[in-house]
Structure 1
């Protein structure tokens, strides 16, 4: 549980910092960033596997590149569900999802699995 909270707070911090450097992403405040991190976590847990299964043929044909489109769709779904979080374009949410996944991977290397 502690590992999840650390990742959630890190993701919220990233979601709060990234809009300062990327046009196309707007976050109202830190509370909104934490809510976005929580919603994105839920969407990645439950919705992403369904989208990946449905789009398996096109993902296979594009040699896995369609998974990038799924990542952007998850960010846009989060935009739709959370007030105070706005996303425009294709590249900014793609970069945001890359940064979040890299940060989660880095944190995962330092956390112990129980």
Structure 2
């Protein structure tokens, strides 16, 4: 059940990102299935590719005191856009979109946790 809630939260976060920020959008004609597929791909990329990117960029990340993580998150969003119905208007838009997506996901996670839908007992 937690996987489905996480997928729905990610899908809602991606959808809200496209509504708030003009640099990231879904392809015309993309439906709910397209948004869910983009969220699923985002989860897979975050689970498999992002840790490798963070490990490879560790020296630069240490030098920038963690700010290079924003670039890694932008690369992840750009990769997701390359294989799904998500459109990103360049790499700078991917970095800004990843930053906004992080904030939106953080807020949605807090709401889900406050409602007790995350399955964690207190």
TM-score, structure 1 normalization: 0.85
Match of residue 12 from structure 1: 11
Distance 2:20 2:102 in 1: 14
Cα distance, 1:78–1:22 mapped onto 2, change above 3 Å: same
**Unmatched 5+ residue regions in structure 1?**
none
Match of residue 112 from structure 1: 119
Cα distance, 1:105–1:49 mapped onto 2, change above 3 Å: farther
Cα distance, 1:102–1:68 mapped onto 2, change above 3 Å: farther
Distance 2:107 2:74 in 1: 16
Matched, 1:85 2:90: no
Distance 1:45 1:106 in 2: 23
Match of 2:56 among 42, 54, 57: 54
User: Is contact 2:23–2:88 with CA below 8 Å preserved after alignment?
Assistant: yes
User: Is contact 1:25–1:86 with CA below 8 Å preserved after alignment?
Assistant: yes
Distance 1:112 1:92 in 2: 29
Cα RMSD after superposing both structures:
1.9
